[in-house]
């Protein structure tokens, strides 16, 4: 009996050692980008107007891919609206358990030259609150005359990194002057996709400028030599011809297809709305995209709700 007990104890010890030494399965993250870039220069990017006081957006597989000095990256591009002279911007990249988009920001001139850039080290860590997640946060200003364009992307070096986030209990203990609790700070992986938010506050507006108003296109009449009999009938036929040409122009304009960059933007916004269970917003975006000429918004919406 004693020998049997010793044998069982040895087997139990061996099994425990084996379990402890067995390799653990870690989540593999994919930060590479194999798809081709959409554009070869900043001037070819699609730009989202910075209207309203807040924009929630996602950088995902539907986003544009740009070629940057550090290599390719998914990105989002924004532009000041014409009536804004200066804008204060707060950019936040939300930290979720699935990861976070580690941002880099470029501010471009009206001729698409880099004027200012903000690296990840310029962002501060903002701890979570009752209504918000942990985030990378950066505040900066944009100017219509010097920096009307903004690009948000994530270089490969950033995507390969991670951030150790203070545990909420540790933050609470430090605020109350208590002893540090025995908790492990979670680690959030940087990813090539993520959810972000822009909070915008215009600090100076521009007045209406007549020189910037769109000019009406006026057709120039063509004068031809004609026989008296034909000339007499011309006043009756001319309005019909003009009406037909105008109708054809309107029909052509309404049937124009949406640009691929705009398609990508609407699809990303629809996906973000569905993932946040805001189906009303997703439907509104889909209908808006369809009216604007989108051929993929409805299919994207239907595919997402099937998942």
Contact 188, 127 (CB under 8 A): no
Question: What is the CATH architecture assignment of 42-205?
Answer: Sandwich (2.60)
How far, in Å, CA of 16 to CA of 167, rounded? 31
3-state secondary structure 241-254: HHHHHHHHHHHHHH
Please report, for residues 48, 150, 179, 206, 211, the alpha-carbon distance to residue 87 in angstroms, rounded to integers and kept in the order given: 15, 12, 43, 11, 23
In tens, the pLDDT along 123-166 reads 999 998 888 899 999 999 999 999 999 999 999 999 999 999 98
Rounded average pLDDT over 59-86: 95
**pLDDT score of 146:** 97
More confidently predicted of 69 and 297:
69
Percentage with pLDDT > 70 across the chain: 73
Q: How confident is the model at residue 22 (pLDDT cuts 50, 70, 90)?
A: very low
Q: Environment class of residue 249 by beta-carbon count within 10 Å: exposed (0-12), middle (13-18) or buried (19+)?
A: exposed
**pLDDT score of 140:** 98
Q: How confident is the model at residue 255 (pLDDT cuts 50, 70, 90)?
A: very low
Q: What is the DSSP letter of 128?
A: -
Enumerate the domain spans of the chain: 42-205, 258-306
**pLDDT score of 221:** 41
Rounded average pLDDT over 71-91: 96
**pLDDT score of 26:** 53
How far, in Å, CA of 96 to CA of 60, rounded? 14
Q: How confident is the model at residue 93 (pLDDT cuts 50, 70, 90)?
A: very high
**pLDDT score of 269:** 83
How far, in Å, CA of 51 to CA of 76, rounded? 15
Candidate from 90-94, 100-104, 196-200, 215-219 with smallest mean pLDDT? 215-219
Q: How confident is the model at residue 185 (pLDDT cuts 50, 70, 90)?
A: confident
**pLDDT score of 256:** 55
Candidate from 56-70, 159-173, 193-207 with smallest mean pLDDT? 159-173
In tens, the pLDDT along 286-297 reads 887 787 778 888
């Amino acid at each position: 009996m004693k020998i049997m007990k010793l044998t069982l104890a040895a087997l139990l010890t061996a099994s425990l050692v084996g379990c402890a030494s067995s390799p653990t399965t870690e989540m593999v993250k994919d930060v590479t980008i194999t798809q081709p870039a959409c554009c070869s220069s900043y001037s070819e990017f699609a730009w989202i107007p910075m209207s309203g006081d807040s924009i929630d957006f996602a950088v995902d597989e539907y986003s544009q891919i740009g070629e940057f000095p550090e290599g390719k990256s998914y990105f989002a591009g924004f532009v000041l609206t014409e009536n804004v002279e200066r804008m204060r911007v707060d950019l936040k990249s939300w930290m979720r358990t699935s990861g976070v988009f580690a941002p880099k920001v470029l501010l471009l001139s009206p001729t698409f030259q880099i004027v200012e850039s903000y690296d990840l080290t310029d962002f501060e860590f903002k701890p979570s609150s009752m209504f918000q997640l942990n985030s990378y946060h950066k505040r900066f200003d944009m100017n219509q005359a010097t920096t009307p364009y903004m690009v948000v992307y994530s270089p490969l070096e950033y995507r390969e990194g991670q951030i150790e986030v203070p545990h909420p209990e540790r933050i609470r203990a430090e605020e109350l002057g208590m002893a540090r609790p025995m908790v492990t700070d979670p680690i959030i992986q940087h990813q090539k996709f993520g959810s972000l938010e822009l909070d915008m506050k215009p600090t100076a507006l521009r007045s209406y400028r007549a020189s910037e108003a769109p000019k009406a296109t006026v057709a120039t009449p063509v004068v031809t030599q004609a026989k008296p009999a034909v000339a007499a009938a011309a006043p009756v036929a001319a309005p019909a011809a003009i009406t037909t040409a105008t109708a054809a122009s309107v029909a052509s304009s309404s049937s124009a297809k949406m640009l691929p960059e705009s398609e990508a933007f609407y699809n990303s916004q629809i996906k973000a709305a569905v993932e946040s269970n805001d189906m009303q917003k997703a439907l509104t975006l889909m209908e808006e995209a369809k009216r604007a000429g989108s051929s993929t918004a409805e299919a994207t919406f239907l595919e997402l709700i099937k998942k």
